[in-house]
């Protein structure tokens, strides 16, 4: 196990470099081993692991291309510097779920507003995060901005984005449906869930996604 290991997800191993983190895309075997420790043996885990790694690679390539064309987006992904094979170095941030623990409910509602704004900004550039696991996949940077640190499962497809909004994919994210927070696996605190739901229902519906999609792209 590497020194300074910060976390391992289903797609990435995250190493603490101080002010930055280094993220290495797992191999399909490593991802499979992660899934298998979670006792979901009934599901076709090997296929899911291969998909997770492939999606991670495609998403990283897509986000790298997007930032290359629109450098103003780089801070919204914590300034990733891409290496080969989907690996990258990124600014270290305070993980969203952790940040919620140290703030008042009023301040936390403000963070949720910023999360929805961030998601809509990305949609305006033609990209949408599919999973909405805001508590673990977002963070607060040193300027207090909400940023997306895990862009391993994003779509650049307009129809898919509209469909995910229509079917309210966000309600099936662990951040929303899961009742408990663990030290590293965060669910939204119960008192914030109605607020989050109202924000998403009013600002992140299929109409909003359709209207906002690619609005910021320079022609
Ligand atoms: N830039 C970062 N700053 C601080 N912690 C991070 C950062 N990137 C990842 N982490 C931590 O590592 C975990 C896993 O990283 P993530 O990019 O979400 O990988 P995975 O795609 O495997 O879920 C995150 O949930 C978070 O706790
Ligand atoms: Mg993640």
Q: How far is the CA of 218 from the centre of ligand 1 (A)?
A: 31
Can you tell me which atom of ligand 1 is nearest the CA of 153? Answer: 21
pLDDT at 47 over 80: yes
CA–CA distance, 7 with 13 (Å, rounded to integer): 6
Q: Which of 93, 115, 1, 13 is nearest to 56 (CA)?
A: 13
Question: Ligand 1 test: best mutation among 4, 7, 52, most atoms within 8 Å of CB?
Answer: 7
CA-closest candidate to residue 190, choices 63, 75, 105:
105
Question: Which residue has the least CA distance to atom 12 on ligand 1?
Answer: 7
Residue pLDDT, tens place only, 123-153: 999 999 999 999 999 999 999 999 999 999 9
List residues near ligand 1 (CB under 6 A): 6-7, 9-12, 14, 21, 23, 78, 90, 92-93, 95, 136-137, 139, 149-150, 152
219 pLDDT higher than 90: no
* Contacts with 1 (C-beta within 8 Å, 6 or more apart), sequence order: none
pTM of the model: 0.96
User: Phi, psi (5° rounding) for residue 204?
Assistant: -125, 30
Domains contained in the chain, CATH given: 1-92 (no CATH), 93-219 (1.10.510)
The pLDDT tens digits for 93-118 are 999 999 999 999 999 999 999 999 99
């Amino acid at each position: 196990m590497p020194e300074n290991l910060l976390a391992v997800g289903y797609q990435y191993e995250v190493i603490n470099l101080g002010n930055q983190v280094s993220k290495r895309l797992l191999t399909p075997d490593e991802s499979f081993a992660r899934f298998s420790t979670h006792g979901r043996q009934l599901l076709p885990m090997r296929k899911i692991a291969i998909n997770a790694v492939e999606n991670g690679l495609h998403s990283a390539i897509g986000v790298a291309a997007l930032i290359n064309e629109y450098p103003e987006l780089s801070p919204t992904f914590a300034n990733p510097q891409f290496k080969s094979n989907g690996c990258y170095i990124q600014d270290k941030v305070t993980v969203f779920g952790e940040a919620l623990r140290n703030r008042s409910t009023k301040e936390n509602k403000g963070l949720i507003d910023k999360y929805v704004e961030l998601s809509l900004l990305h949609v305006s550039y033609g990209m949408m995060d599919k999973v909405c696991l805001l508590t673990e996949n977002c963070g607060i940077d040193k300027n207090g901005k909400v940023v997306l640190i895990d862009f391993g499962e994003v779509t650049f497809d307009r129809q898919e984005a509209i469909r995910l909004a229509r079917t309210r994919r966000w309600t099936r994210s662990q951040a929303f449906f899961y009742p408990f927070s663990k030290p590293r696996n965060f669910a939204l605190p119960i008192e914030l869930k109605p607020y989050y739901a109202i924000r998403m229902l009013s600002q992140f519906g299929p109409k909003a996604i359709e209207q906002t999609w690619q609005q910021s792209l320079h022609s």
